[in-house]
Structure 1
Amino acid sequence: MKSRSEITVRYAETDQMGVVYHGNYFTWFEIGRTTLLKEIGYSYKELEKSNIMLPVIDVSCKYIDAAKYDDVITIESTVEEIKGVRITFSYNLYRKDDNKLLAKGTTTHAFVTTDFKPINFKKYYSECYEKLVEYCQ
């Protein structure tokens, strides 16, 4: 299953040539991830209230083509892997007008408490875990 969200590239996200600054793609990955979590009924806010945090421990992005000012970008997000105390989300970013793949990437997170101690998410939050598994590729 895939989660889809859309953003429109803002002028502030671009350089003088109207091309999106590379660091903004990671913000878009976060939009995709938070949308996916909301779709399964769990927001970051709710997880944090339950003493769960998901710090990023690894990130990658492959840039394929430039996103530009005012492009509408579709963010497709899935769960690539969920294993032990780690979860990896994958993202594909497409320009909506021509469905051109612009970038793809991943973020890996650890399930930890607010004290940054690893937690067995499957054991303590099995309902959320099962919903995340549905988004596995």
Structure 2
Amino acid sequence: MRITPYTRMVFYHETDRMDIVNHSNYIHMMEEARVDFMDKIGVGYERMEQQGIMLPVLGITCNYKHSLRFGQHLAVYSTITKYNGFKLELSYEIRCVEDNALCAVGTSAHCFTDTKIKPMRIMDKFPEMHAFFQKAMDVEYES
């Protein structure tokens, strides 16, 4: 499966007095990229939630490498690093489009639950969705 990365411009409100993106905004960028990634692989949040599936965050990490600034463009490359039908883990690379500098790397861990936040195995209850996640483990990015 070939997809494009999530891209957008850095907004002024995301920067601080040093004219760089505040550290907390990288987490938002990863969440935006995850929602975009899920849509691109065919299992968007809207579709999952209509079927009664929730995907809460269990944990998140972010390591900063290079600053982004207002007006620059970013690209986020999301990859599934672990999936077993119960838990889902993703990694993220946030890059500056103008010079391809690696700005941040991160991870997020999730589990599948029903709307009452009771854990569930989607491979048992939603085999067609399980197949989307398995296929998405081999995602490649277009250049």
With the length of structure 2 as denominator, give the TM-score of the two structures: 0.90
Higher strand share: 1
Which residue pairs with 1:89 in the alignment? 90
Q: Secondary structure at the match of 1:7?
A: strand
Which residue pairs with 1:134 in the alignment? 135
Kept in 1, the 8 Å contact 2:19–2:69? The answer is: yes
The reply to whether residue 5 of structure 1 matches residue 6 of structure 2 is yes
- What displacement does 1:15 show? 0.1
Deviations 1:20-54 (A, max 9, x none): 01111111111111111111222211211111100
Q: Secondary structure at the match of 2:98?
A: coil
Instruction: Name the aligned partner's letter for residue 82 of structure 2.
Output: E
Kept in 2, the 8 Å contact 1:86–1:111? The answer is: yes
How far, CA to CA, are the matches of 2:37 and 2:20 in structure 1?
27
Q: Residues 46 and 38 of structure 1: is their aligned pair in 2 closer, same or farther, counting only changes over 3 Å?
A: same
Structure 2: runs of 5+ lacking an equivalent: 139-143
Question: RMSD between aligned alpha carbons?
Answer: 1.4
Structure 1: runs of 5+ lacking an equivalent: none
Which residue pairs with 2:105 in the alignment? 104
Which residue pairs with 1:117 in the alignment? 118
With the length of structure 1 as denominator, give the TM-score of the two structures: 0.93
Kept in 2, the 8 Å contact 1:92–1:104? The answer is: yes
How far, CA to CA, are the matches of 1:74 and 1:100 in structure 2?
10
Q: Secondary structure at the match of 1:113?
A: coil
After TM superposition, where is structure 1 displaced by more than 4 Å over at least 4 residues in a row? Answer: none
Kept in 2, the 8 Å contact 1:61–1:104? The answer is: yes
Q: Residues 3 and 77 of structure 1: is their aligned pair in 2 closer, same or farther, counting only changes over 3 Å?
A: farther
How far, CA to CA, are the matches of 2:88 and 2:44 in structure 1?
16
Which residue pairs with 2:79 in the alignment? 78
More displaced, 118-127 or 54-63? 118-127
- What displacement does 1:84 show? 4.3
- What displacement does 1:3 show? 5.0
- What displacement does 1:136 show? 2.0
Number of aligned residue pairs: give it: 137
Identity of aligned residues (%): 30
